[in-house]
Structure 1
Amino acid sequence: MAQLEQFTAPARGSGGVDAVVARMRAIGDDLPPRDGLAVFNRVYLSVTEEVDRHLGAGRFADARAATTLDLQFAVRYLAAVDAAAGPGRPPACWRPLFQYRRHPGVRPLQFALAGINAHIGHDLALAVVDTCRTLGCEPAAVEDEFDRVGDILVSLEERIREELMPGPDLLQIADPLTHLFGSWSLERARDGAWAAARALWALREHPGLAGEFRERLDGAVGLVSRMLLTPLPD
């Protein structure tokens, strides 16, 4: 985590987000386009750039809270990337993506969904708690910023599907992909992340229970990611 400290401190404006965007671009430049991590990285990069534009345009009522949440969210993903590249071990929610990132039977949309599932289902809840600790506030104080970032994600969901779903000449693949896409819901994942964040905040004075809750959340989200990455026939 040492090399990620520049992203963990609150930043005014979008300068800290700019640093995250630069890091994501560097990750993408180092990977072949078909790599599963590269696929998710492109999706997350587009979301982060959109958040940066909203910050620059003053569309968040509390820019400091929005920036802090965005950075705390991003640092979880970047830490998982570093753990997978080094001697560490990424959280269970991220392991399926790293394990299957080069599997020829897994389609780009599946990589995108697995990464989004890991990042929202697990990382977002922890990022809310980290944000509240950083700002010294309750989760309710950042709910508007949480919802605004979630609205940006939802607005990009249809574009992601259109870009990553195969064309009409690949309907044999499209049918199971359509099933996978329809089986996972960004809205439900976001609602679950908010509920998990509130539960973790309520358990902050009980580290043992909070740690068990985080571990179970990590494992459950990882199981969903593994199912989303089921190889499909050619």
Structure 2
Amino acid sequence: MTTAWRPDPLDVEQVLSRMRGLNSVLPHGDGVAVFNRVYLSVTEEVRRRLAAGAFADPRAAGELAVRFAGRYLAALEDDLAGRRAPACWRPLLLFRRHPGILPVQFALAGVNAHVGHDLALAVVDTCRATGCGPRALEGDFDRIGEVLTSIEERVREELMPGPDLLEAADPLTHVLGAWSLARARDAAWAASRLLWALRGVQDTYEECATRLDAGVGLVGRFLLTPLGPQSSGSSTGAISW
């Protein structure tokens, strides 16, 4: 996959266009492609709810959705350009073609990176852009979280392997059962409030953001423990599912 650098998306429609473009060029079984399809569904639902007036402050909610997505797209741009992507995204980018990692693991590792790290920083970005504090965004933050939760439930239902594979890869239930989107959202909200409070102390702010990134990356690496029927394969093998 090759692509020229493009500026950050300006609105939800541009975000959707970028994600659809990724879907058209990424191999179907690529780990990033698995997550991208999940996130495309999330963003389409957010757009639908924005149009329906489901958010208290549509302008701020739209800003949050775009800045949230922009961090994911920027991580991919960094990787494509040979730059070092944020630590939270590195496990997925590194193991995206591992034949022993199941689609549900790719999907949830991407959600972990995006919610655990990107969401907190996107809240801060949105507060800077709109001139409001995190408390003003809390209601709409929760509404976007509701969309994420509904998609996570669908991911687990549709991408979990069937009973025959699950019996052979029983550790999968332990790995995925140890991660919770609800806890990740709560942690992201707490992190956003802390980072906002530290925004005037640059070195401390940067240290906290860096440690948040590293911690989320560590969780992502655990989520991508090879558990599928081809777990002895190399990390560059093709995925078939």
TM range (shorter): over 0.9
Correspondence for 2:80: 85
TM-superposed CA distance for 1:171, in Å, is 2.5
Instruction: State the Cα RMSD in Å.
Output: 1.3
Relative contact order, CA 8 A, sep 6+: which one is greater? 2
The counterpart of 1:205, out of the listed 188, 200, 216, is: 200
- In 1, distance between residues paired with 2:8 and 2:150? 30
Q: Which residue of 2 aligns with 1:137?
A: 132
Q: 1:35 to 1:141 in 2, by over 3 A?
A: same
Question: Any idea what SS the aligned residue of 1:142 has?
Answer: helix
Give the ranges of 4+ consecutive aligned residues of structure 1 lying more than 4 Å apart after TM superposition.
none
Contact 1:132 1:138 in 2 (8 A): yes
Q: Report whether the alignment pairs 1:3 with 2:6.
A: yes
Match of 1:160 among 148, 151, 155: 155
Residues 4 and 78 in structure 1, CA contact (< 8 A), matched pair in contact too: no
More helix by share: 1
> For the Cα contact (< 8 Å) 1:40–1:115, is it kept in 2?
yes
One-letter identity of the residue aligned with 2:93: F
Amino acid at match of 2:103: P
Structure-1 separation of matches of 2:47 and 2:111: 19
Q: Residue in 2 aligned with 1:27?
A: 22
Q: Structure 1: 5+ residue runs without aligned partners?
A: 8-15
CA deviation after TM superposition for structure 1 residue 201, in Å:
0.3
> 2:108 aligned to 96, 113, 116, which one?
113
Deviation of the 1:18 alpha carbon: 1.3
Note the C-alpha offset of 1:5.
3.1
1:61 and 1:156 map into 2 onto residues whose CA distance is 21
Contact 1:165/1:177 (8 A) holds in 2: no
Pair 1:96-2:124 in alignment: no
Specify the SS of the correspondent of 1:5. Answer: coil
Can you list the C-alpha shifts for 1:182-202, whole angstroms capped at 9, x where unaligned?
110000000000000000000
Offset of residue 157 of structure 1: 1.7
CA contact 2:169–2:227 (8 Å) conserved in 1: no
One of 18, 37, 40 as aligned partner of 1:42: 37
Matched-pair contact (CA < 8 Å) for 2:169–2:228: no
Match of 2:164 in 1: 169
Deviation at 1:173, TM superposition (A): 4.3
Equivalent residue for 2:178, pick from 170, 179, 183: 183
- TM-score, scaled relative to structure 1: 0.93
User: 1:55 & 1:39 partners in 2: Cα distance?
Assistant: 25
Task: Please say if residues 23 and 33 of structure 2, whose CA atoms lie closer than 8 Å, have aligned partners that are also in contact.
Answer: yes
Report the equivalent of 1:10. Answer: none
Structure 2 counterpart SS, 1:32: coil
Kindly indicate whether the alpha-carbon contact (under 8 Å) linking 2:96 and 2:106 is maintained by their aligned counterparts in 1: yes
Question: Structure 1 CA distance, aligned partners of 2:41 and 2:19?
Answer: 10
Question: How has the CA–CA distance of structure 1 residues 138 and 180 changed in structure 2, closer, same or farther, with 3 Å as cutoff?
Answer: same
Check the 8 A contact 1:121/1:189 in 2, yes or no: yes
Equivalent residue letter for 1:139: P
How far the C-alpha of 1:124 sits from its partner, in A, is: 0.2
Same amino acid, percent of matched pairs:
62
Report the Cα distance in structure 2 between the residues aligned to 1:225 and 1:176, rounded to whole angstroms: 16
Tell me how far 1:81 sits from its aligned partner: 0.7
Alpha-carbon distance between aligned partners in 2 of 1:233 and 1:25, rounded to the nearest angstrom:
28
Equivalent residue, structure 2, for 1:59? 54
Change (3 A) 1:99 1:61: same
Query: Gaps spanning 5+ residues in structure 2: where?
Result: 230-241
CA separation of 1:180/1:155 partners in 2, compared to 1, >3 Å: closer, same or farther?
A: same
